[in-house]
Amino acid sequence: MNKDKIYFISDLHLGLHPECKSREREKLAGNWLEEIKPHARELYLLGDVFDFWHEYKHVVPRGFTRFLGKLAELADNGTKLYFFSGNHDVWTYGYFQTELGAEIHHKPLIREFYGKKYFLAHGDGIGKGELGYKLLIRIFRNKILQWLFARLHPNFALWLGKTWSKHSRYAKGIVAEEFAGEEGELQIQFAKKALKKEHFDFFIFGHRHIPYDIKLGEKARVINLGDWIYSFTYGELDEKGFVLRQYQGDGANIIYENYSLD
């Protein structure tokens, strides 16, 4: 078995209202995990895997059995898992680390693959603007407020979280956002600014739900992984380069674009 590939995925929003649609997407994601299992050396889950997630010391949210089971199979099969908290699943404290051996990341991670330098992050709250949103994220990540929320009974707290998630634009069936152009995309502006201080070959983000590839200068690219609500896209990396694929089930996936810098 040659585990020679590294995978990147984000914004599955499992548990998103309505639950019947979420269950269908969970099964599809489980099929994808089964297909990559023989090849996956590493799997990076770049945030918002769940539409709402909160762990208590002895309680975790109900559901997601099929998906978590497949992650456990990958881990048992030798795949290293990396879980990034997004803005919807920020309240993860150790469950994935204990049960799956996953590395938990609440901040961006810099890695080198095949001689290329990668900046990995969920991609929310970066760059200028979005002051109201950034304040909300700071509230979500405040240790004291997290402790207070954990004092709520799990039945009430999880009901509250799921009720809140039902008011998202995606739960209401609103179509995916459109690409705002290089000047309007905060992740792209962040990457341009970061490159003035330090070189990166790739910036890999989630959060925007829009799969895109933008070349910055001669040797850098910023890529958004899309989501598993509309685009069903994921990143695949091996020694040949980075490819963004679209999963269609039943073993069928198509190359969306090739991002090799060579």
The residues with which 81 forms a beta bridge, in sequence order, are 43
How many other C-beta atoms are found inside a 10 Å radius of the C-beta of residue 241?
Answer: 14
Size of the chain, expressed as the number of residues it contains: 262
With CA atoms as reference, report the closest residue to 206 among 137, 122, 110: 122
C-alpha–C-alpha distance, residues 143 and 193, integer Å? 30
Question: What's the mean pLDDT in 25-43?
Answer: 95
C-alpha–C-alpha distance, residues 241 and 262, integer Å? 8
Which is more confidently placed, 62 or 114?
114
Own/partner contacts of 16-24, CB < 8 Å, gap of 24 or more, are: 16/51, 16/165, 16/168, 16/170, 16/171, 16/229, 17/51, 17/162, 17/165, 17/166, 17/171, 18/171, 22/51
- What is the predicted pLDDT for the residue at 260? 44
> How do residues 166-210 score in pLDDT, each as one tens digit?
666 565 565 667 888 888 899 999 999 999 999 999 999 999 999
- What is the predicted pLDDT for the residue at 254? 55
> How do residues 85-103 score in pLDDT, each as one tens digit?
888 777 777 889 899 999 9
C-alpha–C-alpha distance, residues 117 and 203, integer Å? 9
* Residue for token pair 């002051």: 131
- What is the predicted pLDDT for the residue at 167? 61
pLDDT for 155 beyond 50: yes
CATH (residue range 5-258): 3.60.21.10
With CA atoms as reference, report the closest residue to 108 among 189, 47, 153: 47
pLDDT for 122 beyond 70: yes
pLDDT for 82 beyond 90: yes
> How do residues 9-23 score in pLDDT, each as one tens digit?
999 999 888 888 889
Instruction: Give 130: exposed, middle or buried? Use CB within 10 Å, 0-12, 13-18, 19+.
Output: middle
pLDDT for 256 beyond 80: no
